[in-house]
Structure 1
Amino acid sequence: MKFVHAADLHVDSPLRGLEHYEGAPVERVRLATRAALANLVRVCVDEEASFLIVSGDLFDGDWNDFNTALFAAAQMRILRNQGIRVFVIRGNHDSRDEMSYRVPWPDNLHMLDCRAPETIVLEDLGVAIHGMSFPRRELTENLVPRYPKPIKGLVNVGLLHTNATGSLDHDSYAPCSVNELAAKGYDYWGLGHIHKREILHEGPYVVYPGNTQGRHVRETGDKGCMVATVADGEVSALRFRSTDVLRWRRETLTLLPEDGVDELIDAARVRLKAVADEADGRLVAVRLEVKGRCRAHRILGDETRRLETTAQLRALPGEFTDDLWVEKIKLETDHPLDRDQLRKGRDVLGDLLRSIDAVRADEKALTELGGHVRKLANKVALELKDEGGLDFTAPDQLARWLRQAEDELLNRLTTEPRP
């Protein structure tokens, strides 16, 4: 007998941090979480699973379009037609208080109670399922002590939406410890809330399957569900199955001092082609980060050339695939000359760089600089009218301007040929 464990589907959740530009696969991105749910259903059918457990956050909160509910219900009906039961708990995103609509679920789906832990016994399978939905989003109580003791002679499966690892990337909802879960006596804990796949404990299994579809660039790698095999009254095997249709990747190119823009484009082409070859039919969203001391930095300091280079990089996937999307480009190069070495020089350039460092490190000097910048800004107010929100006294902004000024001085005061 098999069952499938999934969590954090966040159906119809908007994928965050996307830069939309001409040619961006907006529709494929928008429908990614729905496609992941359809893939999850396909896994259940292909694996001939007896049931599916969903450990919270099936939805991302109230939806604007009731078609979200209709789509999810239709997928559950596919499982009903295959004789596959579904057991769901609400998480913080789709807690009772977060959701105002009723979903027309088919009768094979059971939403576990939000007032107290509920137990469902599947006598034909020899399984007891224990779980509790979130009654509200801000649930900081440890729910584990409220869960019932395991039922002897049955395979006991617990569903819990929790931060059991103390992850700082997620709110500390229904916190508990792994040792506490393992000591409860259940054969399998199906957890949700943490979007990273992880087996926290074996014998018994305590498992985060991760989310079914990565939603932003911090959720890289393959996403999906876990398939558990039950034999001789215990969970004997566990296997991951992917469900995602859009996979996020970070790719970093580190340029050498002699590399110009042409070398940057060539290196990006090679790297993106390699990523495309691994796509396996999925859309891959790549955040391209370019670093290193390089000749290209001189040109990339010019806004027009920077935009041209960015456009070239975005267009590269079109040379070999429709399944790769450069989601964002971060150009974080540095001047090809060794600033640290130049600072040590006993010449005008060394003195100048040390003076800039002194201003950058002096809060009072930065404040005075901000005053001078503000006066200049007032003189060119019309030119700056579209730059609303600039804070001329913010240390971070002033430091960036100092860095840009330093780059320009190095370009003008050194004789290294431009690329």
Structure 2
Amino acid sequence: MRQTWRWFGPKDLVSVDDMMQAGVEGVVSALHHVPTGAVWTREEIARRQSQLAQMKDGAPSGLRWEVVESLPVSEDIKKQKGDWRAHLANYKTSLHALREAGIEVICYNFMPVLDWTRTDLAWRRPNGATCMRFDLVDFAAFDIHILARPGAAEDFPPDVVEDAGRRFARMDDETRATLARNVVFGLPGAAENFTLEDVRAHLSEYASISAEQLRTHLIDFLSEVAPLAQELGLRLCCHPDDPPFSLLGLPRVMSTEADYRTVMDAVDLSANGITLCSGSLGARPDNDLPGMMERLGERVHFLHLRNVHRESDTVMGSFYEAEHLGGGTDMVALIGAALKEEARRRKAGRADISIPMRPDHGQDILDDLNRKGQPGYPAIGRLKGLAELRGIMAALSHPVAGAGAEAPRS
């Protein structure tokens, strides 16, 4: 498993030097400043490659841009409206440019309107660390009383609706404004932070689009871009919905193993693959992450390793970003399944033996609390997670692990 690190570019408060000291092997990045739907030019791609190739003192970093996250799919493509055909052509042009630059793995998502949703971006833990959190009651208070979406109350259990009403009544104006900003924070690293009016406008356009229709649009998109990716030797990998259940009345189509299987079967090419995000998928109690890695592993092109603590056994429920080994996903079993998949690939002679992974998110600890970096992407919290994941990988890959309980003695 190739150890990578997400970097948002020169404005990222976690620097190239920080990545070097973390001991990562490759970089995950994107051109967040390029408007969604526009072409990623060879010049812009080369500029990002050169930015991460140097440390602060000008010394070469030796790091390469190995995974794109994300080459965004425009709302027009998702809805098949407006400029969607032009955006599709631009997407194909960008794939050509990325391949010419030597980048082979491209992560994307097909989530309508918002790329992820949390109600608190810095929720305090008992040890003083902070993390991101999704509180169902807070979200219901936003949806029903702040956004005032028609019919919103019908999408929540009656007890949640009642609790949301009481909680909203206790909020002052500043608390309500903070909650709204958190929910509509938008794409990490992008300039696309939505206002409430923006969200309402997008929601109105999705009112007539069912989950079945959105899935059809995803398959249409993949039918166009996956054959090209296959021809170019690229690996596309769709990120799951985050969280993996419907919010704001919007359709969700990549939340379960069955969702992935349907889309992979519809466009049955090896280039049409998966970003297996253990945090996003792990927010549902019915998603078996180690099992998904075992069953879908042939098409897993990218791994996000993080953990969440679910606060209920319901599909739609509250959760927070736990430590990498502290949530509901058995990370040892998941990494073990990934290593087994790599062994299968090695035996089959595949070129993509090593699956790139990154320590996703992490709690803000130590100097992260002063740095105030990109929410969910602290330096030290991710380094701690990477160290833990690296330890599991080293242990499971050691000859002793295959020798049973009898370890050699000195």
- Answer 1 or 2: which has greater strand percent: 1
Q: Which has the higher contact order (CA 8 A, sep 6+)?
A: 2
Structure ranking higher in helix proportion: 2
TM-score when scaled to structure 2?
A: 0.28
TM-score normalised to structure 1 length: 0.28
